[in-house]
């Protein structure tokens, strides 16, 4: 049995707000400095809005000055997938939840040590859980 979450478009729309659906299922992007977590520094973990899978730990979050939550690494190997994104005339690497395919944001090679990575994530794609 696969650990992948599969839902119909109608099920995703019922589960998510219109803004969450736009970002998570239609690969949208929230405006910089508007999301709930760009300036949020509480301990805990950040879970996928689509399926609840734990994706990032607050200990890896840093202020990249870009207006989106930024992390230098996923919580563990295999929880996010990376895909080439050539939209808008740019060459980027899209990041999605491995379990449900939710669009999270993009990863860039300009983050801090030890990874050098900046996972630039939409607040609408994640939910903070302080109890984890």
C-alpha 97, offset from chain centre: 7
Do the annotations mark residue 102 as ligand-binding?
no
| DSSP bridge partners of 107 | 93, 119
CA pair distance 40, 112, nearest whole angstrom:
18
> CB count, 10 Å around CB of 40?
14
Do the beta carbons of residue 62 and residue 72 sit within 8 Å? Answer: yes
Do the annotations mark residue 66 as ligand-binding?
no
Answer yes or no: 120 catalytic: yes
> Which residues are documented as binding site for Zn(2+)?
48, 51, 97, 100
> Which residues are documented as binding site?
48, 51, 97, 100
Q: Which residues are catalytic?
A: 120
């Amino acid at each position: 049995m696969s650990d992948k979450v599969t839902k119909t478009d109608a099920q995703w729309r019922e589960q998510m707000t219109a803004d969450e659906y736009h970002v998570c299922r239609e690969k949208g992007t929230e405006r910089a400095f508007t999301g709930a977590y760009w300036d949020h520094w509480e301990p805990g973990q950040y879970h996928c809005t689509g399926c609840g899978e734990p994706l990032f730990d607050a200990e890896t979050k840093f202020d990249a000055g870009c207006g989106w939550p930024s992390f230098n690494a996923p919580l563990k190997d295999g929880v996010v997938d990376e895909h080439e994104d050539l939209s808008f005339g740019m060459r980027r690497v899209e990041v999605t939840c491995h379990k449900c395919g939710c669009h999270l944001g993009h990863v860039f090679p300009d983050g801090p040590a030890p990874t050098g990575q900046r996972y630039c994530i939409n607040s609408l794609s994640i939910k903070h859980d302080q109890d984890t």
